[in-house]
Amino acid sequence: MTAAPTPHVRVEALTSKAWPFEEARKVLARVERQGGVEQVIFETGFGPSGPPHIGTFGEVARTSMVRHAFSVLSDIPTKLICFSDDMDGMRKVPGGVPNQELLAQHLERSLTSVPDPWGEHESFGHHNNARLKAFLDRFGFEYEFLSATACYKSGRFNDALRRVLEVYDDVMDIVLPTLGEERRQTYSPFLPVEPESERVLQVPVIDRDPVRGTILYRDEMGREVETSVMNGHCKMQWKADWAMRWFALGVDYEMSGKDLYESVKISSRIVKAMGGKVPEGFNYELFLDEKGARISKTKGNESIRVDDWLRYAPNESLGYYMFQKPKQAKRLYFDVIPKAVDEYITFLAKYPEQDVKERLGNPVWHIHNGEPPAEQIPVSFNLLLNLVSASNAQDREILWGFINRYDPDASAERHPMLDQLVGYAINYYHDFVEPAKTFRAATDMERAALEDLKTRLSALVGSDADGTAIQSEVYAVGKAHEFEPLRAWFSTLYETLLGQTQGPRFGSFAAIYGIEETIALIDKALSGELAN
């Protein structure tokens, strides 16, 4: 975590409307109700039946923001636990992994008992756990990793498991009304782990002994088997498991997706029945695909992965995307990336001039744990994309040549983030913009306006006209030729000169691309050279 906040920052944080502070104040109130604690525990969960995905990043990033906000409000030490449910039974063979036939032979076994299909780790669960930790380390998250298998088998959960056994009837009364008739007949919060096969069994429990910490169940052959619920001999069902984990680890805060709203309610009732406390938290909204449908691994419509995003934009932009309106459903598709980058750049530019209150509400403060970088980005990402588009640039040096026209003092050494954006813009252009470019021929009215613009720009050649001056001329042309609404004129520029439906502030584009180069672009459009 970062250095201790000043008293002034702490005072402003107590009333900040930024959502991480609102969440942190809930945790602070919880601590105060308890009369103080030695440590505050934040938790996120991970299901290692597959690799970490962009939702995993979102949950850890958002929880880390709340944790940091709490550190501003209080000096109480905190810890973030990233918990892997790696003792779950593998119910089906996951797609997208090698050796499918091998995995099919190990259905129902706990994920840490299933062989690693890549042959790199001790098990399938260990493989995905390693990927999770590498994933989190890549972003610099501060966390403690916990494995369900390790916690169960080491006895760390034993006291909590015995407590569930003591309130077994209460747990059944909470869960059974939520199940269908058939499922009620076999449900038990405890899932025995068969010693020989290490399969996680879903079988009915016919008796229990809280004193000895055992259950009696009927196996699939109809035999009665007694087993301890402790030391990894049993795994708990999902909702009871979540409550047990809160109880055992003393979790104070955990957020979850809106799809788990009912699970949170049930798990909350169970932990109360155990005599524990329900963590603070909230249900964030889920992501939508390009068609507006909810993204789901089950549906197979996950349109963008973390690695995809990081091919086209820095991780700070992904952090910004996750910060914005977590309780609102948002499209998560490739076309949101440029907007996220430019909005991040805008907030970063505002930060140095803001007072403390404004800074605490600025997303970059939360993305960078209160210490945003000092670098200012002189051009927008959208403008870089259009420079690539207009120039068909293949390398970074060409783009830097344009940038230096706009800002002679800019350089890769002084602006490392801008240098990264140059590479990202080239990647994004070649993968998304270039394949979709469609130029159209100008209408007679539009041709006249383009000729007029060309004449006005020619008068500026050799002058020190900046983007604002050029933009004034662009506006004047649109008004003189009576475009209604005026944005139709800008659509004309984008569609005839850039082959796109939208684009940057045209004056800024012409200033950085070059007035003479812009005139040449207009000539190409008027000659029909650009039109598809």
Query: What is the SS3 string spanning 195-215?
Result: CCCCEECCCCEEEEECCCCEE
Q: Could you tell me if 257 and 149 lie in one domain?
A: yes
Q: Could you tell me if 19 and 126 lie in one domain?
A: yes
Q: Could you tell me if 112 and 14 lie in one domain?
A: yes
DSSP structure string for 150-184: HHHHHTTTHHHHHHHHHTHHHHHHHHGGGS-HHHH
Q: Could you tell me if 424 and 478 lie in one domain?
A: no
Q: According to the model, what pLDDT value does residue 504 have?
A: 80
Query: 361 exposed, middle or buried (CB, 10 Å; 0-12, 13-18, 19+)?
Result: middle
CATH number, domain containing residue 72: 3.40.50.620
Give the relative orientation of helices 506-513 and 467-480 as an angle to the nearest 10 degrees: 130
Residue at 242 is within a domain: yes
Domain that holds residue 411: 381-436
Q: Could you tell me if 46 and 146 lie in one domain?
A: yes
Six-digit token string for 193: 């782990």
Residue at 14 is within a domain: yes
Structurally, how many domains does the chain consist of? 4
| 436 CB-near residues (< 8 Å, 6+ apart) | 500
Q: According to the model, what pLDDT value does residue 502 have?
A: 83
Q: Could you tell me if 30 and 171 lie in one domain?
A: yes
Beta strands of 285-428 (E only): which ranges? 287-288, 330-331
Residue at 137 is within a domain: yes
DSSP structure string for 94-109: PTT-S-HHHHHTTTTB
Q: Could you tell me if 118 and 16 lie in one domain?
A: yes
Residue at 116 is within a domain: yes
**Vertex 460, ends 455 and 466: CA angle to 5°?**
130
Residue at 188 is within a domain: no
Q: Could you tell me if 36 and 80 lie in one domain?
A: yes
Residue at 183 is within a domain: no
Taking only the tens place, the pLDDT of each residue in 60-118 is 999 999 999 999 999 999 999 999 999 999 999 988 899 999 999 999 999 999 999 99
Give the relative orientation of helices 238-249 and 261-273 as an angle to the nearest 10 degrees: 60
Cis peptide before 485 (omega within 30 of 0): yes
Kindly give the pairing relationship between strand 40-46 and strand 78-84.
parallel
Q: Could you tell me if 404 and 336 lie in one domain?
A: no
Helix, strand, coil distribution of the chain in percent, nearest 5: 50, 10, 40
Q: Could you tell me if 385 and 507 lie in one domain?
A: no
Q: According to the model, what pLDDT value does residue 3 have?
A: 63
Report if pTM > 0.85: yes
* Domain end call among 284, 318, 340: 284
Residue carrying the six token digits 């992501």: 287
> What b-and-e string marks burial along 471-487, b requiring 16 or more CB atoms within 10 Å of the CB?
bebbeebbeebebeeee
Helix, strand or coil, per DSSP, at residue 221: coil
DSSP state of 481: T
Residue at 213 is within a domain: no
Residue at 199 is within a domain: no
- CA–CA separation, 485 and 481 (whole Å): 11
Six-digit token string for 369: 């744990």
Q: Could you tell me if 247 and 341 lie in one domain?
A: no
Six-digit token string for 3: 């250095």
Contact 136, 187 (CB under 8 A): no
Q: According to the model, what pLDDT value does residue 291 have?
A: 76
Written as tens digits, the pLDDT of the chain (532 aa) is: 566 788 889 999 999 999 999 999 999 999 999 988 899 999 999 999 888 888 899 999 999 999 999 999 999 999 999 999 999 999 999 888 999 999 999 999 999 999 999 999 999 999 999 999 999 999 999 999 999 999 999 999 999 999 999 999 999 999 999 999 999 988 999 999 999 889 999 998 999 999 999 999 998 888 999 999 999 999 999 999 999 999 999 999 999 999 999 999 999 999 999 999 999 999 999 888 877 777 765 555 566 889 999 999 999 999 999 999 999 999 898 999 999 999 999 999 999 999 999 999 999 999 999 999 998 898 899 999 988 888 877 788 888 988 888 888 889 999 999 999 999 999 999 998 888 889 999 999 999 999 999 999 999 999 989 999 999 999 999 999 999 999 999 999 999 999 988 888 899 899 989 999 999 999 999 999 888 6
β-partners of residue 200 are: 193
Torsion of CA 235, 241, 245, 248, to 10 degrees: -60
CATH number, domain containing residue 498: 1.10.10.350
Q: Could you tell me if 41 and 128 lie in one domain?
A: yes
